[in-house]
A and B are shown apart, each in its own frame.
Chain A
Amino acid sequence: MAQFRVEITGIGGTQIPVAVATFRDEDKAPQPVSAIVRADLQRSGLFRIVDAPGSFDEGSRIIIPEWRARGADALAVGSVSRLADGRFDVRYKLWDLVKAEELLGQSNAALPADMRLAAHRIADSIYQKLTGERGVFSTRIAYVTLAANRYALHVTDADGEGGQIALASPDPIISPAWSPDGKELAYVSFESQKAVVWVQDIASGKRRMLANFRGSNSAPAWSPDGRDLALTLSRDAVAQLYLISRDGGTPRRLTSSSAIDTEPVFTPDGRQIFFVSDRGGGPQIYRMPAAGGNAERVTFSGNYNISPAISPDGRVLAYITRQGSSFKVMVQELAGGSPAAITDTSDDESPSFAPNGRLLVYASRAQGRDVLMTTTLDGKIKSRLLTTGADMREPAWGPFGR
């Protein structure tokens, strides 16, 4: 029932060869645990999957030379068993075959509906143990689909699978934004025949109208502490930036230009807001103090730069530039690097960083469809999240928590 397949292009530098044996009794669980772990590790670009035939579990005696002969540096084995309360106990062990030692041994009980999450968490543990960095396999991505004139705001696992619909509508939905705790999504819905900003609790589906002022209300962005949102309103002028409490109320105006100011995004330390303004003619990216104040221009090459995203460590800016009739994802070190194009497509939109800062998800076009891609920041490894039939756009990568 997989909705997505993953296609990987490009070759990474060093890849760790890892074997993940089929977990004992995983066919009795609702999800193929070891297959999910293998696909996660492969998609990161940092691992090469080695075949692991045979039956093993976390208690099996491992004959290390046999696995070394297959070319594996690490091996994961495990099992799935049903508990009396209906949950599944997922156990596994990770072996370092080079040092001939056990690296990890864990046991987790998961509800049937959380089996994909349990598998992604195993992949995250393996990723962190072998690379020293935090994995993002158990995080989620929100995006919008358009199929048969119906719009849907989806929330899926970071691999694009396990998709659920948070909002279905006959009218457009744009600009989803995750709350820092991963529990809520802000977005723009046109259901009342104008742009209105909503906030929706993902687990319960309960939603509230955050901004419905005269004119258009759009481009919500959460402050890192989750207490406020920056957004674009046209109540006083065409498009200016405001700050509003997460509970709504009276917005405070942040910019006072005679131009378009939109697409605000906070830096991770909460001190600055990057945004798009055409005060200099065409749209460019600027930054200013989070409370408003003097804006400083950030992008200088090209006459159309929009949709800023800041890496979780605050060091890298990703954005979209127009080159001729093409729109491309650019990446730029904020400490003074030059901008670099990292895609070979020409209709890129909406870059969004993974919470570990290693990957970007973005919207693009391929074979006449709107598609979602992930890429490493150097552009070397890309994967396409494929779906059947729907156009996909407006991706937003969620935080670590959920």
Chain B
Amino acid sequence: MHITRRTLGTAVLVLALGGLFAGCSSTKLDEAPVENRNVPADGAAATGAGKGAGGSGTAQSSVATVDLPKSGAGAAGAALAQRVVYFDFDSFVVKDEYRPMIEAHSKVLSTNRGKRMMLEGHTDERGGREYNLALGQKRAEAVLKTMVLLGVQDNQLEAVSFGEEKPAVQGSDEAAWAKNRRVELKDK
């Protein structure tokens, strides 16, 4: 019974999150977003399976490897090791692929009320410095709201922005810009 209740609780939480992440998409600006180049972690395995099935001259003894992440504490540890949420152009939507990571960090904060985090928003280099500072703030606030809904107390978090001032990657092409549109989760 105890296990069932826990599972049910998790399911409700996941549903609530699904609504939350979808709800964020209303904050888009009028600019068309550029193509998302962030490939989900499971994309490689799916591509490998497709090639094996559809290729005409595939050897019959070929075996496609599916590499599962470690279960339990290991998976949480991997998620906790991630600390950057990337965003599409002119977007403040926290994408689903960052959900495990944000959940893992939120869980640590929820069970440790003395712990605090800074959420640092950043933009790419295009546009004005002050407007970009506000856009970076909006991204950081989007992550903050997500974590508060996951049970983190508001006073454990501070959303701040560096705008375009601290790019993670130098360069003036989409590859660099995509790495710079981000929120970094930092222990305070």
Q: Residues of A at under 8 Å CB distance from B?
A: 172, 174-175, 188, 190, 193-195, 214-216, 218-219, 232, 234, 238-239, 260, 262-263, 276, 278, 281-283, 303-304, 306-307, 320, 322, 325, 327, 349-350, 393-394
Contacts and interface: CB of A to CB of B under 8 A. Distances in A.
Given A174-B163, A190-B162, A215-B137, 12 more contacts: A175-B129, A193-B160, A194-B158, A232-B133, A238-B134, A263-B128, A276-B128, A278-B29, A325-B126, A327-B127, A327-B128, A393-B129
Given A190-B165, A281-B30, A234 B137 contact: yes
B138 A260 contact: yes
B141 interface: yes
Nearest to A349: B128
Contacts of B131: 260, 262-263, 276, 283, 306-307
A174 B130 contact: yes
Q: Interface majority SS on B: helix, strand, loop or mixed?
A: mixed
Nearest to B92: A238
B159 interface: yes
B165 A216 contact: no
A216 B133 contact: yes
B152 interface: no
A193 B29 contact: no
B135 interface: yes
B118 interface: yes
Nearest to A214: B158
Contacts of B135: 260
A349 B141 contact: no
Given A175-B129, A394-B129, A216 B31 contact: no
Given A260-B134, A262-B130, A303 B141 contact: no
Contacts of B127: 304, 306, 322, 327
B130 A172 contact: no
Query: Which of A260, A281, A282 is packed against the most chain B CB atoms within 10 Å?
Result: A260
Contact of B137 (A193, A239, A283, A320): A239
A238 B141 contact: yes
A174 B165 contact: yes
